[in-house]
Amino acid sequence: MILAYALVSFALALVLYPSYIVWLKRLKVGKTIREDSATGDKAKIFSSMHAHKAGTPNIGGGLFVVMVWVMILASLVLWKLDIINNPLINREETYLLLFSFFSFGALGLVDDYLNIKGHGTVKGLSAKAKLLGMFVIAGILAWWFWSRLDVNYISLSPDFHLVIGWFAPILSFFLTLSIVNAINITDGLDGLAWGLLLIVLSVFATATFVSGLYTATAVVAIVMAVLAAFLRFNINPAKVFMWDGGAFALAGLISVLVMLLNMRMGILIPFLLLFLLFWIEIGSSALQIFWKKFFHKKLFPIAPFHHLLEHRGWKETTVVMKAWLVQLLLASVAFVLFVYQLVG
């Protein structure tokens, strides 16, 4: 059944995305090249490297989120008709997954909508409003794991739980925020973030299946299938960009997967390695902002890291393909660690 969900999702998304892209073009929902960097300076380097992408349709995440929602509703209909035994919504496995996916996705889509409508001085949600939304959702997730699921520890292995009390929800809160922002920052080149996440999600799909979380595995499989279809139109030269709706939704899903699996098998250390490229991306941006604020000059000519590589002469496709290869290596090592923890 998991395979059936994935195949149907992929086929539908692959058929619908071309029409969706045409519709976005008719609405004139196109990418605008940012003029200012995160440090407040004029983004001259970025503008010169990406000027050719102006006008490419945005909000690819809109159909992405809707497709996942449609598959969830379809499972409920099939369950009501007694065609399948269980829907994709259940308290034990997918309530938090779907809450996080759709809550963060809704926040991102609101920002996307306001952006294309030109609302606000910054076009879209202000940084404060966006952060407030992230804080609320991440806070709910952290509180739920701590108060309802009694997660007052971190698991460094299936057999070693380090009790940290009140620090557990704080850690969950900041981990969620870090994942959301890391994915959003990494989404800067055609196919980069989504190819990386497809590999990351394959490890999570395996982990959930091995853990006996078959409904959660089905949800991850659907997300992977729709993401793979989207990637078909996002690889260079991109015909559509994801934007915040899809990026936030995926980050919400991954955040909960990490916390759920860490409860069961101590996946934290393999995950930190698996997500290494995303940590490098967010770390380079954070360092750039810190350096500009406290030393009043840039540490790098441009950040995050993938743009720095571009600036140094790497072709966009070269950066993306090499990042995918590194991610495959990281996924392989993380998977070996994961298996070793289970067997050992």
Q: Mean pLDDT score of the chain, rounded to an integer?
A: 89
- Residue 94 is encoded by which pair of tokens? 């997918």
251 burial level (CB within 10 Å; 0-12, 13-18, 19+): buried
pLDDT at 44: 56
**Residue 135 banded pLDDT, cuts 50, 70, 90:** very high
Measured CA angle at 240 (ends 237, 241), to 5 deg: 100
Give the Cα separation of 155 and 166 in Å (integer): 15
305 φ/ψ sector (left φ>0, alpha ψ -120 to 50, else beta): alpha
Measured over the CA atoms of residue 47, residue 49, residue 55 and residue 61, the dihedral's sign is negative
Beta bridge partners of 153: 163
**Residue 123 banded pLDDT, cuts 50, 70, 90:** low
Could you tell me which of 119, 109, 104, 67 has the C-alpha nearest to residue 243? Answer: 109
Residues 63-106: tens digit of each pLDDT? 999 999 999 999 999 999 999 988 999 988 999 999 999 999 99
What percent of the chain is predicted at pLDDT more than 70? 90
Evaluate if residue 127 carries a pLDDT over 50: yes
Residue type, 94: T
Residue type, 74: A
186 burial level (CB within 10 Å; 0-12, 13-18, 19+): buried
Give the position of tokens 């992408």: 53
Give the position of tokens 């930190």: 272
243 φ/ψ sector (left φ>0, alpha ψ -120 to 50, else beta): left
Taken as a whole, the chain contains a residue count of 344
Q: What is the DSSP letter of 148?
A: I
Q: How far is CA 61 from the centre of its chain?
A: 11
pLDDT at 30: 64
Residues 21-43: tens digit of each pLDDT? 999 988 877 665 554 445 455 45
Beta bridge partners of 162: 154
What is Dmax (Cα atoms) for the chain? 65
Residues 329-339: tens digit of each pLDDT? 999 999 998 88
Lowest mean pLDDT among 31-35, 57-61, 168-172, 299-303: 31-35
**Residue 157 banded pLDDT, cuts 50, 70, 90:** confident
What ranges make up the beta strands (E) of the chain? 153-157, 160-163
Q: CB under 8 Å to 22, separation ≥6 — which residues?
A: none
SS3 category, 93: coil
Residue 63 near residue 20 (C-beta atoms within 8 A): yes
pLDDT at 40: 52
Evaluate if residue 133 carries a pLDDT over 50: yes
Evaluate if residue 117 carries a pLDDT over 80: no
Beta bridge partners of 155: 161
Q: CB under 8 Å to 247, separation ≥6 — which residues?
A: 61, 108, 180, 183, 184, 187, 193
Residues 223-254: tens digit of each pLDDT? 999 999 999 999 989 999 998 999 999 999 99
